Amino acid sequence: MSGPRSSFLERLLRSLDAPTTRQNLDDYDEVDAIRLLKGDELREAEDALIAKLDGNDGRAANALGLIGSPRALEALRNALVTSTRPVVRVFAARNLLQAAGDAGGIDAVIQAAQTGTEDQKLIAVSTLKLFRETKAYDALERAFSDADGSVRIAALDGLLERYGVLDGSASKTSTIGMLEIQLASRFASERLDAQQKLTELFKKFREGSTPEQLGVHDCVDESKDSVNTFMKSLESREPPWGDTLALDSLTALTGSEREWAEHLLIARLPYDFRAAAALAHLKARRAIEPMRELLSTPPNEAIRAAVEASLKIIEG
């Protein structure tokens, strides 16, 4: 190009070679300057970004998506094939979808969600929710069994968003909130129970059921004395509870409230010895496998003693 560069282009080009920090992991610091470029300057920026993309810089994919020109889109399509970094292929796929409605990169995103590092999986899972293809939904459901809890929860959040179940429903007293606690659990039996329930839930969503019909917003009634007292005892070590929980209130719980309380107590087993005694009081057989799994770790002495004693009571 002839003549001096504009300050916008200068700022953008400098940012391409700036040191990577926590603040610019996904985008160049001056990426918004692209919106102010035209003609030869936009072409020069495009050239520089394509070179960065060829060098496996995923941020260049996001910047080229902002440009959205035929040449920029072609560079993104090439990156799906040539890039050696999964995150670059994911960024390329996402920007092709958002800039041109091109879902051709979906397989690259699914592959990263299944075989990438934890960070790569998280980026891939957050991208999969943007696709409308059935295999994107299937891949998110498969991520429920990922070894990393943050990936499992990201997959669930992505599907909930796609099906219109807002984050506000995910209270620990709600149906979906409890499934989220189970899915994040360190205990295999709790995770498996959640996976099975969620698979069935999303199957019904696909068949046309609404969140309201499926009761995902339904919550345990915290205004009930038994529920309220139990929850207060969970959060307090002051009298009248101290080293125990509100066992009389627990005993009063039935049906879905009882199931909710048992799952909540199981989640607390690794760090609250009172939970083991409360589960023994309830003779909660669903706690047997988590207790056995916890003892195989092993936990600290107080937890171990409480779990061993409680397990004997439950097993009879």
Could you report the per-residue pLDDT of 258-316, keeping only the tens digit for each? 999 999 999 999 999 999 999 999 999 999 999 999 999 877 999 999 999 999 999 98
Task: Name residue 219's beta-bridge partners.
Answer: 174
CA dihedral sign of residues 176, 182, 183, 188: negative
**How high is the pLDDT of residue 53?**
95
Mean pLDDT for 68-79 is 96
**How high is the pLDDT of residue 75?**
97
Task: Say which residues have a Cβ less than 8 Å from residue 243's Cβ, sequence separation at least 6.
Answer: 237, 273, 274
> Do 31 and 48 sit in the same domain of this protein?
yes
**How high is the pLDDT of residue 174?**
87
> Do 158 and 249 sit in the same domain of this protein?
no
**How high is the pLDDT of residue 2?**
61
- As a whole number, the mean pLDDT across the chain is 92
Model confidence at 47: pLDDT above 60:
yes
Task: Name residue 174's beta-bridge partners.
Answer: 219
% the chain with pLDDT above 70? 97
> Do 145 and 233 sit in the same domain of this protein?
no
**For residue 73, what are the domain limits?**
1-102
- 144-184 tens-digit pLDDT: 999 999 999 999 999 998 887 765 445 778 889 899 999 99
> Do 300 and 252 sit in the same domain of this protein?
yes
Say how far apart CA 36 and CA 33 lie, in whole Å: 5
Say how far apart CA 247 and CA 260 lie, in whole Å: 15
Say how far apart CA 4 and CA 297 lie, in whole Å: 66
% the chain with pLDDT above 90? 82
Of residues 37 and 166, more confidence is placed in 37
Domain end: 203, 219, 235, which one? 219
- 114-149 tens-digit pLDDT: 999 999 999 999 999 999 999 999 999 999 999 999
Phi, psi of 286 (to 5 degrees): -65, -15
> Do 213 and 232 sit in the same domain of this protein?
no
- When divided into structural domains, the chain yields a total of 3
Say how far apart CA 252 and CA 186 lie, in whole Å: 28
Phi, psi of 219 (to 5 degrees): -125, 155
Contact status, residue 6 vs residue 35, Cβ threshold 8 Å: no
Say how far apart CA 55 and CA 75 lie, in whole Å: 12
> Do 93 and 1 sit in the same domain of this protein?
yes
**How high is the pLDDT of residue 216?**
85
> Do 286 and 212 sit in the same domain of this protein?
no
**How high is the pLDDT of residue 166?**
62
| Domain assignment present for 112 | no
| Domain assignment present for 114 | no
> Do 209 and 268 sit in the same domain of this protein?
no
Say how far apart CA 69 and CA 73 lie, in whole Å: 6
| Domain assignment present for 231 | yes
| Domain assignment present for 143 | yes
> Do 164 and 250 sit in the same domain of this protein?
no
| Domain assignment present for 110 | no
> Do 203 and 292 sit in the same domain of this protein?
no
Domain end: 197, 219, 241, which one? 219
Peptide bond into 290 cis (omega under 30): no
Say how far apart CA 210 and CA 250 lie, in whole Å: 32
Domain end: 178, 193, 219, which one? 219
Say how far apart CA 182 and CA 53 lie, in whole Å: 40
> Do 184 and 204 sit in the same domain of this protein?
yes
Say how far apart CA 195 and CA 175 lie, in whole Å: 14
Nearest to 118 by CA among 148, 157, 139, 91: 148
Mean pLDDT for 197-217 is 90
> Do 235 and 214 sit in the same domain of this protein?
no
